Amino acid sequence: MPKTIIVSNRLPVKVTENNGSYELAQSEGGLATGLGSIYKEKDNLWIGWPGLDIVKKEDREKITADLKKLSLFPVYLSQEEISEYYEGFSNEVLWPVFHYYASTYANYKRSNWEFYVEVNKKFKNAVLSIAEPGDTIWVHDYQLMLLPDLIRREQPELSIGFFLHIPFPSYEMFRLIPWRSELLEGVLGSDLIGFHTYDDVRHFVNAATRILPVNSSANVLTKGDHTIVAEAFPIGIDDKKFASLPSEPDVKKNVKLIKDTFGNTKLVLSVDRLDYSKGILQRLQAFEYLLNHYPEAKEKITFYMIVVPSRDTVPQYAHLRDEIDKQVGNINALHRTMEWTPIQYFYRSFPIDMLSALYTAADVCLVTPMRDGMNLVSKEYVASRINDDGALVISEMAGASKELIDALIVNPNNTEEVAKTIIKAAYMPKAEQRARMEPMRQVVAKFNIAHWVKIFMDKLNEVKQMQRSLQTRYVGQVTQQSIINRYIKTRRRLIFLDYDGTLVDFKSNIEQASPDEELYELLLQLTEDPANHVVLISGRKHGNLDKWFGDYNMDLVAEHGSWIKKPKVAWHKLSGLSAQWKQEIRPIIETYIDRTPGSFIEEKTYSLAWHYRKAPKGLGELRAGELMNNLKYLANDRGLQLLPGDKVVEIKNVEVNKGKAALTILDNQDYDFILALGDDYTDEDVFKELPENSITIKIGNNVSAAKFYLTSPDEARSLLKSLAESTVVKTQ
C-alpha cells in the first residue's frame, strides 16, 4: 500500500528534558493539524528534527521509539549542524533574501552552505530508508530546498511535492545568492511546487527559466524530460477550531478579564514571532505617530502587542528585541497617564485559550509585516469573529492580503497611512465591520487547512498522471525500435524535416545556424536511399535553403510553403497571393524595433518576421506579447496569420502554411511510411494535415498535436541516424 511521507525541518512535537529524561508533547500548530489527516493515517509518517540536541545513543533510541507511536520519525542533528545549516544558511541567507532583506542581513558563508548540503543529504537518507516505489513525499519549506532533487536522483518514480511557506523573491533578489542554481535544481526535483501566492509562482518561474536551462509554458516547467508544475496554494487554518474556542468557558473567562481591564478603550491587537520581516518597529512608529497626531485617541486606544520569542540567540534578533523594548519604553513613558498605558507589550507566548480570548476581545487586529509568505494570525482573527464584527488591518506585503481583500489594506512603510487606518478601523461603524468581516469569514472557512492539503495532494496526483501520459509519448527505446521496424519494412517513405529547432539548435544569430558536417552526412545517408522522399520544410528564405541544400536530392520548401524546389529543378513560387499588406504592417513592427534594442525585421515573400533573439531577456517576450495584441484584429481583417515562434513573431498570409505545402507534396501518392519532425507552431499544421497513420514527432516538449516528442535536435538526429543505418545494416 503506497504511503505518504511529510518532511519538514521540525517535527510537530515538543521534546522537553526533565532531569535527564525526555518528554514528548504533540504541538498544536495549524500545519500539524492540517497534515494530521495525512501523517497519522495507516503507514504514513512525518520526518523531521525533534528540536533538541540529543546526544546519547540510549536517549535517541528511546525517543525514536516514542516518536514512532505518534507516526513521527526523527532526524537527529548536532549542535554544529543546527547552527550552520539552520541558523547559518536557512536563517541568515534564505530567510533574509526571500524577505527582501538581502543587503541588511544576508551572510553568504561557504561553510554554512556546505552544512546545508550535508543536512539535506541526511534528510534524504532518512526519506530513502523508509520510502518505497509508489510513495508520495511532501517536503516543506526553505530549510529543505535541495531535498526534492536528492530524492529524485535515487528514486525518480516517487511522487515529490514541495511547499514553500515563505515568499519567493523576485529574480533580482534571488540571483544574489551564490548557490542560486543549486537551490533551483534542488526544488525542481519535485513534481509539484506550491507557493502561497501567484506572485511567488511568477517569481519562481522567472528565476528558474533565467538561471537554468529550463523551459516554461505558463506555470508548467520542463527540465530535460522532467515536467514540473508550479502553482499557488494559499495555506488555510483550522477555522472550526478558532470559531469554536470563543464558546469555551476558559476563553469566555479570559475575554471577560480583558474587557474588564481594557473595556473602556478600543483594543488593537498584534501577534508576531520576533522577526524583522514582521514590521514590528515600523508598527510602533505608526502607533507613535497616531498618538502624536490624533490626540483624541489618547486614553481611548490600547495597543496590545504580543511578540513571541524566536531565534533570539542570533545577534540580529537580539538587537531587534532591544530596539522594541526601547521604543515601547519611550512611547509609554511619553504618553502614559494614571489610568492608561498606550502599549501593553508581552515578549512571550500565550496559551491558545488566551490567544483566542484576545482575538475575540480585540476591536482591531493589526497585521503589518514588511513581507510575509501568508500570515496566519490575520486568518485566525477573522475565524474567531463569530459575530462578524471587528476590523482587520493588513499589510499588502502579506500573502493573506490577496485573499482577505475586504480588510483595510495598507503599505506598512507608510506611517501616516497606517496610523490613519488604525483610527478608521477602531471607529468603524458596525454595519461596515459586518460587511467586511462576513465575506472574509467565508473565505477563511472555505479555504481552510483541510482544503489546502486536499487540493495540493489532488494536484500532485494529477501532475504525476500527466507525466505518465506524456512519458508514453516520448520516443524512448521501445518506440524508437518500433519506428525502425516499420521503416525497415517499407519502400515508399515520405520524410518531412523542419530545420531550426529540429535539426539544429537555435543560435543567437540566425545566420550562424548553418548545417554542420554531421548533419550533411546524415541528410546524405537519408536521401541516398531510393525508398526515401525527403522534404526539408522550413520558414527560412529560399535563397538561404538553396545555398545550404540546393544540391541535395531532396525537396526544399521555403518560407512556410511560399517557395518549393524539387531536386535538380528551379525554385517555384506560390502564385496568386498578395503581399500588399506588408506596407501597412511594416511601420507598426518598426515602432517595436525602435523600442526594443536587439530586435530586427526579416522580410520574406509572403511574410514579415520580427526577431527578438538578441533583445534583453524578458523585454523581448513582453514586446512580442504587445505586438501580437496590437496586430490581432488587423491580421484577422487582412487574412493574415500571427505565428509566435522561438524568439520570433511572424506575420504571413493565411494561405501559406506548411500543412498545405505538405499536402501538395503528398498529393495522394501511395506512401507506406510518413514521418514528420518539427518544433514550433508552424509545424503543427503539418502534424494536423498528415494522414492518421503518419509518425509525427515534436522536438522540444510535449505540448503538441504530434503523436510523439523528443527533447532536442540531438535526439532528433540520433533517431534519424538509427533509421538511416537500419537499412544499411539490413542490406549488408
Residues that bind ligand GDG (CB under 6 A): 30, 165-166, 235, 271, 273, 306, 308, 349-350, 352, 355, 372-377, 380
523: cell is 541528410
Q: Nearer Cβ to ligand GDG, position 166 or 649?
A: 166
Residues 552, 554, 560, 563: is their CA dihedral positive or negative?
A: positive
Q: Catalytic residue at 498? A: yes
CB 703 within 8 A of CB 684: no
Which residues fall within 8 angstroms of residue 171, CB to CB, at 6 or more apart?
203, 206, 207, 210, 211
How wide is the angle at C-alpha 111 spanned by C-alphas 106 and 116, nearest 5°?
Answer: 80
Cell 520544410 appears where?
537
**Shortest spacing between CB 309 and ligand GDG, in angstroms:** 9
Among 113, 109, 93, 110, CA closest to 101 = 93
438: cell is 462576513
Cell 474588564 appears where?
260
**Shortest spacing between CB 378 and ligand GDG, in angstroms:** 8
Q: Nearer Cβ to ligand GDG, position 308 or 579?
A: 308
**Shortest spacing between CB 713 and ligand GDG, in angstroms:** 43
Q: How far is CA 18 from CA 15, 21, 64, 266, in A?
A: 10, 5, 17, 42
Among 698, 696, 690, CA closest to 671 = 690
Alpha carbon 595 to its chain centroid, in Å, reads: 30
**Shortest spacing between CB 51 and ligand GDG, in angstroms:** 15
**Shortest spacing between CB 164 and ligand GDG, in angstroms:** 9
SS3 string, 363-416, reads CEEEECCCCECCCHHHHHHHHHCCCCCCEEEEECCEHHHHCCCCCEEECCCCHH
Q: Nearer Cβ to ligand GDG, position 95 or 548?
A: 95
255: cell is 475575554
326: cell is 526601547
Which residues fall within 8 angstroms of residue 685, CB to CB, at 6 or more apart?
657, 658, 659, 660, 662
**Quick one: angle between helices 315-335 and 280-293, nearest 10?**
10
CB 280 within 8 A of CB 307: yes
CB 91 within 8 A of CB 273: no
Identified catalytic residue from 239, 353, 363, 498: 498
Q: What one-character-per-residue DSSP string does 301-353 give?
A: EEEEEEEE--STTSHHHHHHHHHHHHHHHHHHHHH--SS--SEEEEES---HH
CB 26 within 8 A of CB 70: yes
What is the CB-side half-sphere exposure of residue 327 using CA atoms within 13 A? 18
**Shortest spacing between CB 234 and ligand GDG, in angstroms:** 9
542: cell is 529560399
- Relative to beta strand 215-217, strand 220-223 is antiparallel
**Shortest spacing between CB 199 and ligand GDG, in angstroms:** 13
Q: Nearer Cβ to ligand GDG, position 220 or 243?
A: 243
d(CA 599, CA 301): 60
**Shortest spacing between CB 99 and ligand GDG, in angstroms:** 8
Q: What one-character-per-residue DSSP string does 50-81 give?
A: -SS----HHHHHHHHHHHHHTTEEE----HHH
Q: Nearer Cβ to ligand GDG, position 269 or 686?
A: 269
Q: Nearer Cβ to ligand GDG, position 161 or 373?
A: 373
The 10 Å CB-count burial string (b at 16+, else e) for 605-615 is bbbbbbbbbeb
For the chain, helix, strand, coil in percent to 5 are 50, 20, 30
- Could you give the residue numbers annotated as active site? 498
